[in-house]
Chains A and B, each alone.
Chain A
Amino acid sequence: MNDSAQFLIAHENLNKLRNNFSNVVIGQQATIDELLISVAAGGHVLIEGVPGLAKTLLARCLAYSAQADDVRIQFTPDLMPSDIIGHAMFESESQSFTVREGPVFANVVVADEINRAPAKTQSALLEAMQEQQVTIEGETRALPQPFIVIATQNPIEQEGTYPLPQAQLDRFLCKVLIDYPSADEELKMLQQVTHESIANQLDLSHLQPVLNVNDLVHIQQTASFISVDAAVQKYIVSIVTATRSWNGIDMGAGPRGSIALLRAARAHALLHGNEFVTPDDVKIIATAVLRHRIQLTPDLEIEGYSPDDVIANLLSTVDAPRT
């Protein structure tokens, strides 16, 4: 099979996944797209939104649609690193230590309310997210592929939370914001969710497994082969370096930001059926990729500006490729 055929299959699979999401998640199309772009780019996603906006449902949908192993870890203040990555245990029968793998050994790990656990526990995910492996008692173990962490956090209840350190945030490819649905979407939701449903179960009955784990890996591989012109690469670097010298941004994005933006742009092109990356792909996904990598100056924060406002302003002034 040639590259074009591979591309078409990956694009179709990604769209199958997208359509499957729409059967369960009502509205939130931009959120779904950003989540799928992160998945296609082989990145991890941080979903932020107030309770009840289908954050967990999104993660479950992904795992179910792709027939992937999924695990949900509820982050709490007393959660320990070993509760996530696993630990060595002495077995009296064999008189030896055996390693018990933690819940992190799954394809899709949903880290629910990740900011409720202390930094030590959050950091337990660092190695897993960056290097796709964990080290338990000196023994390094590879994680199953694909490995995707979908973390959620609530932006309003800040008491008793531990804001994610910048090093941890940098590991997330995208930060996806979920907003309230429109009135029509909410009405649809009422009709669909409460029909023949007991209590608050996550109703995944409308969902069909449309892919398998290998298809997901194939999508990620295809995305990584999409060609990017040097002018577009320069454009990416211009955007990221602009965040470092922009008045109004205290701390700009690092080189990992450039890499993430390139990967996300490729995935965006794949999702939209483009065999090459254009500046549009970069610009559209830049906000989701950069919003958690920049730190605004206190005066802008006090005035109520969000990173999205600043990035929109920045994108409008960074010259797009034209020659």
Chain B
Amino acid sequence: MDAGFTLARAHYVKLVLLWLGFAAPVFAFCLFIQLWMGWSSVWSVMFFVWWWFKPLYELPQVMYLSKALFSEPVSLRAAWKMALSQFWLLFKTYLTLARLSTARSLTYSVVFLERLPRKQRAQRIQTLTMVPTRHYLLMMVCFHIEYILTYAIGVALVAIFAANMIDAIDWLEFFLEPDGEKYAAWFATLSVLALLVGGLVAPFYVTGGFLVYINRRMHLEAWDIEHRFRNITPRTKLTQTLALILVSTLLFSAPETSYAQEQRSQSIASMQEVTDALSDILAHEDFGTTKTRKIPTFNRDDDDEYEESQFLKDMREWLSDATGPMAKFIKLLLWVIAVLFFLLLLHTIRRFRRPTLSTRTLTRGNNKDEAGAISHPLTQNLPDDIAGGAMQLLKKGDRRQALSVLFRGALRAVMNEYDMKINKGATESDCKVRVAEVASEQQVQTFYRLLGVWQQEAYANQPQQEQTIASLIQEWTQAFPAKKHSANAASTGDRV
């Protein structure tokens, strides 16, 4: 990885430009789509899409490095072209589920440079990662550096230019609910910073992974020595040409060949000789490592050298007989465990569904936990005909219930007519205030009188005269005519 970082530093500017060459247009495209769709406050989706395409931005860097390492650097345009030519392969390999692979920087070379068929590619990756290469550490370190830098620069910018904004940020909400008008400017800034910081960190990530790959190949296949031998061949070719020119000159211009010249011509190796020499060297035991893996297998019955004892035979037979029932038992056990787990889950959910103070819905001083006429407990179990129901109860002598029906009926009527909502814990005063806000003067006056009588009857234990209640029922009928509130009456129940 040290070598990788050294290589990244040597080509840093080009590598950053290679990243931005793809990342910036994709960013701009995502931004365009976002604005076009009118999602000016939905930054998380846009950022996620841009983030998902990160392998695309890293591919030109891999292409460039594959040439630059062997002293054959290509232009930026050529690197982008090479990357684009492999887009389909990139899409199949790194823009699907493998996007989440931690070994991405290591396996880029296998996929795009070696271009092996799928099966061989998998084998090669398995071989490369057989020993711990700590490529995941590279991923973790780069990931953290990238995000820490992004947020640090973002916060620093705000601290410098708009320090008062810092205190206004609810960090929990900021991270849990990033979308919304409140933090849109913040996320716009952070997204641009992520683009720039990504470009600064990516060269180290890609080059680090690339050099880990090279290092593994060196260990596995002595690539460094092979590389040197390959460098010999061009030099040999040059020497050979010069020698031929020299020999030709000598043959046609000189009457005879001197002994020294003959010796020199003999010393120039032919291609065949070089190839043979290389084969000999490569065939030497110092090259290549053979690994032997031993896998234990059961002795077969027809193995003559092994004599199985009677006990083992009986045991084997018993085991083969018992396997079926045991499997069934284990299956049953697993089902029982699964059912118990499900029940436990239900119990846990039920426990957490107790009256809860949701930190998201808790509002200081202004409670929004309100319900309309249909769902409000105050209006449950009311007759369709409020006045009639109240009168029946009054005739039965149940004055308290008669007034209760009138009170709740009036409330239901106002809720239906004006789409008024009140919370479950609303007391008489709360209802009074809400009704006064929305209802007509006549309704408000009737409601006030009704509340006064109801409170005297219910809480002061002062029995009200039947005449008073009967006149209230009549007044109620005028203030809350049946047609206005009967629409939803059926849905709120029909019993007293």
Residues of A within 8 A of B (CB): 227-229, 231-232, 242, 245-249, 275-280, 283, 299-300, 303, 305, 309-310, 312-323
Contact status B459-A247, CB under 8 Å: no
Nearest-CB residue, chain A, relative to B351: A247
Binary interface profile of B, 400-424, with partner A (CB < 8 Å = 1, else 0)?
A: 1100100110000000000000011
Given the known interface contacts A247-B354, A310-B357, the answer about A317 and B365 at a Cβ–Cβ threshold of 8 Å is no
Residues of B within 8 A of A (CB): 172, 352, 354-357, 359, 362, 364-365, 367, 369, 377-378, 400-401, 404, 407-408, 423-429, 455, 458-461
Given the known interface contacts A312-B367, A316-B369, A322-B404, the answer about A279 and B428 at a Cβ–Cβ threshold of 8 Å is yes
Contact status A319-B367, CB under 8 Å: no
Could you list some 11 contacts between A and B, CB below 8 A? A227-B461, A245-B355, A247-B356, A280-B427, A299-B359, A300-B357, A303-B172, A317-B424, A318-B424, A319-B377, A319-B425
Q: B173 → chain A, closest Cβ, in Å?
A: 10
Closest 7 CB pairs of A and B: A248-B357, A276-B460, A247-B356, A316-B367, A316-B423, A279-B427, A280-B429
A313 to B352 alpha-carbon distance, docked (Å): 17
Which residues does chain B contribute within 8 Å of A232, judged by CB atoms?
459
The contact of A319 among B407, B424, B458, by CB within 8 Å, is B424
Contact status B455-A278, CB under 8 Å: yes
The contact of B459 among A242, A276, A317, by CB within 8 Å, is A276
Contact status A322-B460, CB under 8 Å: no
Nearest-CB residue, chain A, relative to B455: A278
Contact status B357-A275, CB under 8 Å: no
Q: A269 → chain B, closest Cβ, in Å?
A: 9
A230 to B68 alpha-carbon distance, docked (Å): 89
A319 to B378 alpha-carbon distance, docked (Å): 8
Q: A248 → chain B, closest Cβ, in Å?
A: 3
Which residues does chain A contribute within 8 Å of B359, judged by CB atoms?
248, 299-300, 303, 305
A212 to B172 alpha-carbon distance, docked (Å): 55
A192 to B234 alpha-carbon distance, docked (Å): 104
Q: A177 → chain B, closest Cβ, in Å?
A: 14
Contact status A313-B404, CB under 8 Å: no
A317 to B359 alpha-carbon distance, docked (Å): 15
Best-buried of A228, A249, A279, A318 by chain B (most CB within 10 Å)? A279
Which residues does chain B contribute within 8 Å of A229, judged by CB atoms?
458-461
Best-buried of B356, B362, B459, B460 by chain A (most CB within 10 Å)? B459
Best-buried of A227, A275, A276 by chain B (most CB within 10 Å)? A276
19 extra A-B contacts, CB within 8 A, seeds A245-B354, A320-B427: A229-B458, A229-B459, A229-B460, A231-B458, A245-B355, A276-B455, A276-B461, A278-B428, A278-B459, A279-B427, A279-B428, A283-B425, A299-B359, A312-B365, A314-B357, A319-B424, A321-B458, A322-B378, A322-B407
Q: A288 → chain B, closest Cβ, in Å?
A: 15
A213 to B109 alpha-carbon distance, docked (Å): 94
The contact of B401 among A228, A248, A277, A323, by CB within 8 Å, is A323
Q: A4 → chain B, closest Cβ, in Å?
A: 12
Contact status A278-B354, CB under 8 Å: no
Contact status A317-B425, CB under 8 Å: yes
Which residues does chain B contribute within 8 Å of A277, judged by CB atoms?
459
Given the known interface contacts A278-B459, A300-B357, the answer about A305 and B369 at a Cβ–Cβ threshold of 8 Å is no
Nearest-CB residue, chain B, relative to A229: B459
Which residues does chain B contribute within 8 Å of A299, judged by CB atoms?
359
Which residues does chain B contribute within 8 Å of A246, judged by CB atoms?
354-357
Which residues does chain A contribute within 8 Å of B369, judged by CB atoms?
313, 316-317
A154 to B374 alpha-carbon distance, docked (Å): 47
Q: B411 → chain A, closest Cβ, in Å?
A: 9
